[in-house]
A and B are shown apart, each in its own frame.
Chain A
Amino acid sequence: MSEVTIQVRTAPRDRRFPTQNQTNHCWARYIEFHACAKAKGEDDPECEKFKRWYMSLCPAEWVEKWDTLKEEGRFPGPE
């Protein structure tokens, strides 16, 4: 069993999404990550931050679905 270091941190509050409905927050973070990954590469620390945030906010099922759509070239958002 390997030791895992736990850091207590999560996606910060975003002033663009001040309401109870956080659906667009999750979506925006997912888009931001892919935009960043396209520009700087997936392993860039700046992009890794966006990935952590969308992982924190979006249900795993949604992320899986969007990833599949991306792979199939059917993703409805910006590529």
Chain B
Amino acid sequence: MFNYLKLIICPFLTFSLSTVFFTDAPENWQLGFQDPATPIMEGIINLHHDLMYFICVIFIFVSWMLSRTLWHFEKTQNIVPSTLTHGTLIEIIWTITPACILLVIAIPSFSLLYAMDEIISPAITIKTLGHQWYWSYEYSDYLNEEGESIIYDSYMIPEEDLISGQLRLLEVDNRMIVPVNTHIRIIVSAADVLHSWAIPSLGIKCDAIPGRLNQTSMFVKREGVYYGQCSEICGINHGFMPIVVEAVKLPNYITWISNKLSE
């Protein structure tokens, strides 16, 4: 019997330990985060988990106080009503305690906030422009012999053109290609109305505002295909302008750039 079980379990264990699957796109009825691919997203998830600790403790404490009060001061059990209207000590305690909790929470929160704003001398700048209703990407660090840079549009693939395995309302014709383990500056703007360039796995959500260049940074730690969507209501096709970022190794990125420049 044991040998039989071993035969079934061992290959499964070997497979599950040797292969890691990341979710970089949303799943049906998903409640949690997508898997992080940048240090910022790891920070966001850690902060969320830290805050959940405080939330659970406060929820249990408040529920216990509330149910105890309802139980003990119910009119059949407590015929003579209390005439107590205020108590200085208790009021000081319930003001100071939440203030202290907020101060403790503020420390990791601010450090993450400032880490997100920090631009560490970038190696690449990529511009992303929101249009009604598609994204366009500009790689202007490199010019071809005619002095032209790489500019292309990224449209959603309609449902009828999807091939097996592609994600509905998330797949695009031209992905944004970025190298892994490289500091990238992203400049986000819009050509017509407000949009927002957001990718959960990369921990990025940056508003695209006409006439303004918003800067954010990206440091992708692993190769993969990351999916996001426009996150600022921008008109009738707001839900049909997804974002796809493909992270590749630096030499592959350089090859891709060379090919694009020679096109």
Contact = CB atoms under 8 A, between A and B. Distances in A.
A45 interface: no
A66 to B, nearest CB: 13
- The B contact surface, by secondary structure, is mixed
B123 A55 contact: no
A1 B138 CA distance: 22
Interface of B: 117, 119, 121-125, 127, 129, 138, 140-145, 149, 151, 182, 185, 187, 189, 191, 211-216, 250, 254, 257-258, 261-262
Interface of A: 1-4, 6-13, 19-23, 25-26, 52, 55-61
Contacts of A10: 122-125, 141, 185
Contacts of A23: 211-213
Given A4-B261, A6-B257, A52 B141 contact: yes
Contacts of A9: 123, 141
Most buried by B among A7, A21, A55: A55
B214 A20 contact: yes
A4 B149 CA distance: 12
Contact of A11 (B125, B149, B191, B211): B125
Contacts of A13: 119, 121-122
13 contacts: A1-B262, A4-B142, A4-B262, A8-B182, A10-B124, A10-B185, A22-B214, A25-B213, A55-B140, A57-B213, A59-B129, A59-B213, A60-B140
A17 to B, nearest CB: 9
B136 to A, nearest CB: 9
Given A10-B122, A23-B213, A55-B149, A4 B129 contact: no
A11 B191 CA distance: 22
A55 B213 contact: no
Most buried by A among B121, B213, B254: B213
A55 B240 CA distance: 30
B141 A56 contact: yes
Nearest to B116: A20
Contacts of A2: 145, 262
B254 A8 contact: yes
B122 A6 contact: no
Nearest to B119: A13
Given A8-B250, A21-B212, 20 more contacts: A1-B262, A4-B144, A4-B258, A6-B254, A6-B257, A6-B258, A8-B124, A10-B122, A10-B125, A10-B185, A11-B125, A13-B121, A13-B122, A20-B216, A21-B214, A22-B213, A25-B213, A56-B141, A60-B138, A60-B149
Contacts of A61: 129, 191
Contacts of A55: 140-141, 143, 149
A22 B142 contact: no
B214 to A, nearest CB: 6
A6 B142 contact: yes
Nearest to B207: A20
Contacts of B121: 12-13
Contacts of A8: 123-124, 141, 182, 250, 254
